[in-house]
Structure 1
Amino acid sequence: MSRVAGGPETLELTDLPAPSLGAGQLLVRILACGINYPDVLIIEDKYQTKPPRPFIPGGEVSGVVEAVGDGVSGWQVGDRLMAVTGIGGLAERIVVAANVAFPLAADRDPNAAAGLLLTYATTIHALVDRGQVKAGETLLVLGAAGGVGLAAIEIGKALGARVVAAVSTAGKAEAATAAGADSTLVYSPGPFDKDATKALAGQFKDAVGKSGADVVYDPVGGDYCEPALRSLGWGGRYLVVGFPAGIPRLPLNLTLLKSCDVRGVFWGAFAARNPQANQAHVEQLMQWWREGKVNPKVGGTWPLEQGGDAIAWLASRQAIGKAVVTVSV
């Protein structure tokens, strides 16, 4: 539980009454909770939404239905599910709206499922709806060994793209290659001065080839943005996904010279505005998962009492794959 703004060390483990079930809701026994970068920000009051304290962090879960509220159809006690919760996932039980839950087959790993929706649903929306990636195009993925980065590699390959994975260490390059990247490059940690920025732009350009990248998937931001934008080809699409390295200042003259687009990716708003399209994306992801085209990588697991350590690991930017807190089996 987060009572005061601060880092993972400020979180408390405490007993609370069981949540009450309302109409249109499901009472869920949580199996696992996926940790995402918004969890790092929200406990520090740095996220775009600030829930009133005290609150329980944890934005996505896998679990088992324990009770079904009035007016709910299609769900029964014992069903397994996945859901994006926003907050509340680092707990033993949670109440979720039935219309935001998705079935989880018995043969799917609940730890991997807890790390599927936010990263993969964000990424399929980014690449299909916003990036309009086509077979044969070149996709440059920044931060390619994190949760969304690995998702971008796998979904990019499923869509037929050539994927260039940019990472910060050799170990992360190995993970990106294992996920299916066609090539990798290792960049230096920022911040960058003018010469280092120019050198990184050259590194990106060499990696994507003389025609430039068709799409850049950027969940990193900061000093990596401008060099990556410079690697875009004519008419390319730059996808803005996140800013763990900071919010960049973009020289808009580059967009004119390249006739390229900078496109924001806000999956949560998309899912709320167009639930049918989001449902279709999740169904596609589950099919790809069954076929082995996507395989959510769990980089580390922690018990509930060490949930703060999982958030700290993600905040360290050393993560390869998803951080998952296991709650029950």
Structure 2
Amino acid sequence: MRAVVCSAYGPPENLRIEERPSPPLAPGQARIRVGAAAVNFPDVLVIADRYQISVPPPFVPGSEFAGVVDEVAGDVGDLAVGDRVTGTGIVGAFAEEVVAKASSLKRIPDGIDDRTAAAFGVAHRTAYHTLRSVARLQPGERLLVLGAGGGVGLAAVQLGVALGASVTAVASSAEKLDIAAKYGAEHLVDHRSGDLRTALKGALPEGADVVIDPVGGDLSEPALRSLRRGGRFVTVGYASGVIPRIPLNLVLVKGVRILGFQFQDLAADELARNEKELVDLLVTGRAVPHIGGLYPLDDAAEALRYVADGRAIGKIVIAVRSRPAVHS
């Protein structure tokens, strides 16, 4: 099979396309013929050995894929050859084949193509579980989203609107904010055009109820200050590359809550409820990932560079197969 290979830690430009043997199957696993894979910022960190989990090279990067089951081993439940599925992992997705635990795969709903399915998983699930179960966003509340042009940020804009919130989007360019507005953001703030704290006071004079922060860095403290008394601030990631230092006196004086999101913290029943609601939003067209760039497998390094440089809007997708199937 053809695959993108990281032979040594470093920038995306170090990656190469190689012919590799098909990965072996173990009990409980399935082999998936990959139709599309989505690029996430942690993929950039993994190949540079800057992620929280270190993967020894050589390895195939990529954490999110969609495709068709080609082969199954024993103990895979009702999963069968020909099923269309999506899945995630730390590495392995940027290849023509991937092997994964059958229990970790999710069936792709009818009518959803591979590219949409690959782009939907990580960002929309992160955003929805964060809004629904961590922030506990309510209809009519004021939601502030940092990094609103990125995968998680733009998903949070869409899903915040779907949950009935008034959304303020913060991003680094007019182009990113224009896309956020198309997905329902009511207030738009370019944090590179002036003082963010002042801009947020203008956009949210009564304060935000919830802040979703996948960026960190210099944006976090002004966003925290924009919260009303008793508001909730959820840290999701640090796409800026800088983990912020928050003055704790702000938490004391404003009476706000700072929360973090991790999938493993969710109760099983709440996770199942969220997943059901999220799939319904997808199939009814109320939450569809914005694919801001499509690259062939040969150009995977370029796709990763585009994400690493913060230029991506929504999700960047690698078309592993030239014609992903669409079923209705």
Quick check: TM above 0.5?
Answer: yes
Pairing of 1:301-320 with structure 2 (within 5 A): 301-320=294-313
What SS class does the counterpart of residue 112 from structure 2 fall into? Answer: coil
Cα deviation 1:19-69 (Å, max 9, x = unaligned): 111111111000111100100101000000011211111001001000122
2:244 aligned to which of 248, 251, 256:
248
Distance 2:44 2:180 in 1: 23
1:258 aligned to which of 250, 254, 261:
254
Distance 2:144 2:230 in 1: 15
- How many residue pairs get matched? 317
Distance 1:17 1:256 in 2: 57
Cross-structure match for 2:96: 92
Alignment check: 8 A CA contact 1:80 1:106 kept: no
Cross-structure match for 1:185: 189
The reply to whether residue 43 of structure 1 matches residue 36 of structure 2 is no
| Superposed displacement of residue 277, structure 1 | 3.7
Distance 1:47 1:324 in 2: 21
Alignment check: 8 A CA contact 1:225 1:248 kept: yes
Pairing of 1:1-329 with structure 2 (within 5 A): 1-188=5-192, 199-209=195-205, 211-245=206-240, 246-267=242-263, 269-270=264-265, 274=267, 277-328=270-321, 329=324
Distance 2:267 2:64 in 1: 19
Distance 1:256 1:66 in 2: 55
Runs of 4+ in 1 over 4 A off after TM superposition: 273-276
| Superposed displacement of residue 204, structure 1 | 1.2
Distance 2:94 2:229 in 1: 45
Letter of the 1:201 partner, please give it.
R
Cα deviation 1:130-162 (Å, max 9, x = unaligned): 101001100000110111111101111111111
Distance 1:149 1:322 in 2: 10
Structure 1: where are the runs of 5+ without partners? 190-195
| Superposed displacement of residue 275, structure 1 | 5.1
Structure 2: where are the runs of 5+ without partners? none
Alignment check: 8 A CA contact 2:109 2:283 kept: no
| Superposed displacement of residue 99, structure 1 | 1.1
Distance 1:280 1:136 in 2: 22
Distance 2:271 2:31 in 1: 23
| Superposed displacement of residue 276, structure 1 | 5.1
Cα deviation 1:146-202 (Å, max 9, x = unaligned): 11111101111111111111111111111000111122111117xxxxxx7xx3212
Distance 1:162 1:244 in 2: 24
**Distance of aligned partners of 1:274 and 1:3 in 2 relative to their CA distance in 1, 3 Å threshold:** farther
Identity of aligned residues (%): 39
Distance 2:30 2:138 in 1: 39
Distance 2:283 2:136 in 1: 24
Letter of the 2:315 partner, please give it.
K
TM-score if structure 2 supplies the norm length?
0.94
Distance 1:323 1:274 in 2: 30
**Distance of aligned partners of 1:247 and 1:158 in 2 relative to their CA distance in 1, 3 Å threshold:** same
Cross-structure match for 1:192: none
Alignment check: 8 A CA contact 2:132 2:274 kept: no
Distance 1:200 1:293 in 2: 30
Cα deviation 1:67-100 (Å, max 9, x = unaligned): 1220111211111011112210000001111111
What SS class does the counterpart of residue 201 from structure 1 fall into? Answer: helix
**Distance of aligned partners of 1:275 and 1:310 in 2 relative to their CA distance in 1, 3 Å threshold:** farther
Q: Comparing 274-283 with 11-20, which one deviates more in the overlay?
A: 274-283
Letter of the 1:312 partner, please give it.
R
Alignment check: 8 A CA contact 1:208 1:231 kept: yes
| Superposed displacement of residue 274, structure 1 | 4.5
What SS class does the counterpart of residue 175 from structure 2 fall into? Answer: helix
